[in-house]
Amino acid sequence: MSTTEVAALQRAIGQVKQCVGDLRARYGDIPAVRRLVNDVERMDIDISDFRGEPEAPAPRQPAVSEHEVVVVPDTPYDREMWRGADDEYVRHDD
């Protein structure tokens, strides 16, 4: 995460802190406000972890290339392969 992204996120968290403080002043120390305070504190802790990170990791490569062709046969499956498998079809022979 770049320093500008971190700074923007810190500003946003500061604004959320202000709003939660306003809610606490209006509604007191009710459970919903306590949860919001806890959530904002966790976001503050999480963003501080980014300050110590040197760089974002390289994106993961997909297991299969988007240009690789995967052939799916159109022949019927062996019915024995499905023996004992659950079937969504419900028979009503009553």
Q: Tell me, yes or no, if the pTM score tops 0.75.
A: no
Question: Tokens representing 83?
Answer: 């023996």
Straight-line distance from the first to the last Cα atom of the chain, in angstroms, rounded to the nearest whole number = 63
Quick one: which of 40, 51, 45 has its CA closest to 1?
51
pLDDT tens-place string over residues 34-72: 999 999 999 989 888 877 666 666 777 777 677 788 788
Q: What are the structural domain ranges in the chain?
A: 3-52
What would the two tokens of residue 55 be? 């760089």
* Tens digits of residue pLDDT in 11-29: 999 999 999 999 999 999 9
What residues contact residue 43 under an 8 Å CB cut-off, 6+ apart?
13, 16
Distance CA 32, CA 27 (A): 9
